[in-house]
């Protein structure tokens, strides 16, 4: 019992401390630029381009797609930086040296970013409603919130996998940014999935966000949560798969690092 309590404590302490550590250099002004102004500009850019284009999608298509995709800022960048931060700050050897439960520590790195990601998406929707006239009158708010939470969870799963990769590469910014922009292309946020070539549709099917964005559009269109539940269960499954892959990579790096005596697998 005491072991369970110790793990729960470790999870929450690790979650809060890693988030605080990230913001030791990440100032509030940077937070506002990245999480408030940046998402607004991204939503505006793609919505205006969509209005200029004639692909047949409505402005709401781009507003909803980009608002949900904003969760990747926390899920990909935030989570990856939290894990990579241990390497940059030289705390990775202590982490590998501690007897603490690895899974608890690993998951703790993403916990606050999930909450932060949900908050970021809500900011995106607030911009959509106030500035771009997104109509939420047919929307079940709790169903939408649940969809946002599930999508943020699965995206953070991908973030945990990329975070583990950041321990074996110096090009973490390249990986993060490429993943972020690939999600913009392949998740259905700006291009309807059925317009993608079959090979890309298949890739899209294995990505987080794809089902989340489709479900959010359906909910805003008046669907109930029951109707999108199968897609949400799959989204959770995808998130778990990414987490397990990330964790397996993390443990493999630890074993390899200890065997080689490099501790950073580099």
CB of 41 to another protein, least distance (A): 3
49 binds another protein (CB under 8 A): yes
The piece of 8-16, 41-49, 88-96, 217-225 that touches another protein (CB under 8 A) is 41-49
Cα separation, 48 vs 191, in Å, equals 14
127 binds another protein (CB under 8 A): no
In 3D, which of 145, 114, 127 has the Cα closest to residue 62?
Answer: 127
Going from the C-alpha of 156 to that of each of 10, 13, 81, 133, 183, the distances in angstroms are 19, 18, 12, 29, 13
Q: Which is nearer to another protein, 202 or 240 (CB)?
A: 202
Q: Which is nearer to another protein, 49 or 136 (CB)?
A: 49
CB of 196 to another protein, least distance (A): 8
9 binds another protein (CB under 8 A): no
The piece of 52-60, 154-162, 213-221, 254-262 that touches another protein (CB under 8 A) is 52-60
Going from the C-alpha of 168 to that of each of 164, 210, 265, the distances in angstroms are 7, 28, 6
In 3D, which of 141, 157, 122, 134 has the Cα closest to residue 234?
Answer: 157
Candidates 58, 177, 205, 224; binder of another protein (CB under 8 A) is: 177
Which pair of structure tokens corresponds to residue 2? 């005491």
Q: Mention every residue, 6+ apart, whose C-beta is less than 8 A from residue 121.
A: 67, 68, 70, 71, 148, 151, 152
Candidates 19, 46, 153, 247; binder of another protein (CB under 8 A) is: 46
Instruction: Judge whether 83 and 52 are in contact, CB under 8 Å.
Output: no
Instruction: Judge whether 233 and 153 are in contact, CB under 8 Å.
Output: no
42 binds another protein (CB under 8 A): yes
Q: Which is nearer to another protein, 57 or 264 (CB)?
A: 57
7 binds another protein (CB under 8 A): no
130 binds another protein (CB under 8 A): no
In 3D, which of 93, 262, 56, 237 has the Cα closest to residue 157?
Answer: 237
181 binds another protein (CB under 8 A): yes
Which pair of structure tokens corresponds to residue 112? 């606050």
The piece of 101-109, 117-125, 168-176, 238-246 that touches another protein (CB under 8 A) is 168-176
**Which residues of this protein are in contact with another protein, per CB under 8 A?**
27, 29-30, 32-34, 36-38, 41-42, 44-46, 48-57, 170-171, 173-174, 177-178, 181-182, 184-185, 190-191, 195
């Amino acid at each position: 019992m005491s072991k369970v309590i110790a793990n729960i404590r470790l999870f929450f302490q690790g979650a809060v401390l890693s988030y605080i550590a990230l913001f030791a250099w990440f100032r509030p002004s940077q937070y506002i630029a990245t999480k408030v102004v940046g998402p607004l500009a991204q939503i505006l850019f793609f919505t205006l381009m969509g209005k200029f284009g004639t692909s047949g999608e409505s402005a709401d298509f781009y507003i909803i797609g980009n608002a949900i995709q904003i969760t990747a800022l926390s899920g990909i960048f935030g989570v990856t930086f939290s894990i990579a931060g241990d390497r940059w700050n030289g705390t990775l050897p202590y982490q590998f040296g501690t007897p603490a439960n690895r899974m608890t520590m690993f998951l703790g790195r993403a916990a606050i970013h999930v909450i932060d990601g949900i908050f970021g998406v809500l900011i995106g929707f607030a911009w959509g409603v106030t500035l771009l006239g997104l109509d939420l009158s047919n929307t079940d708010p709790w169903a939408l919130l649940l969809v946002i939470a599930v999508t943020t969870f699965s995206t953070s799963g991908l973030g945990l996998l990329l975070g583990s990769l950041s321990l074996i590469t110096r090009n973490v910014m390249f990986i993060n940014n490429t993943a972020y922009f690939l999600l913009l292309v392949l998740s259905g946020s700006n291009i309807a999935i059925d317009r993608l070539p079959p090979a890309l549709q298949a890739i899209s099917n294995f990505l987080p966000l794809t089902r989340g964005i489709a479900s959010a559009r359906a909910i805003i269109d008046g669907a109930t949560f029951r109707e999108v539940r199968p897609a949400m269960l799959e989204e959770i499954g995808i998130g778990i798969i990414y987490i397990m892959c990330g964790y397996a990579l993390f443990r493999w790096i630890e074993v390899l690092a200890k065997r080689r005596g490099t501790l950073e697998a580099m």
